[in-house]
Amino acid sequence: MNISVGDVVIMKKNHPCGSNRFEVLRTGVDFRLKCVGCGHEVMVPRVKILKFIKNVESGGHAPSAL
């Protein structure tokens, strides 16, 4: 599964605010996610994130040409 910074992931479980959509701020061994509903930021291990993702929406960022 290819997830990059700027993508919005839809999780199987809701955040306590009721939203299940999170924006990816950082990838690596841990993911930094920002809740689209309330703006809360969380750090979650990659293994846990990959298990709970339902769908990935592209952030619409075009790769930069250097």
Residue 65 is assigned to a structural domain of this protein = no
Structural domain boundaries, residue 39? 8-57
Residue 64 is assigned to a structural domain of this protein = no
54 backbone φψ class: left, alpha, beta (φ>0; ψ -120 to 50): alpha
List, for residues 21-50, the tens digit of each pLDDT value.
999 999 999 999 999 999 999 999 999 998
How many structural domains is the chain composed of?
1
Residue 2 is assigned to a structural domain of this protein = no
CATH number of the domain enclosing 22 = 2.30.30
Q: Write down the pTM of the prediction.
A: 0.81
Rounded CA-CA distance 1/10 in Å is 13
Residue 22 is assigned to a structural domain of this protein = yes
pLDDT of residue 57: 87
Give, for 51, the enclosing helix (H) or strand (E): helix 46-52
List, for residues 9-20, the tens digit of each pLDDT value.
999 999 999 999
Check pLDDT > 70 for residue 60: no
Residue 36 is assigned to a structural domain of this protein = yes
Residue 44 is assigned to a structural domain of this protein = yes
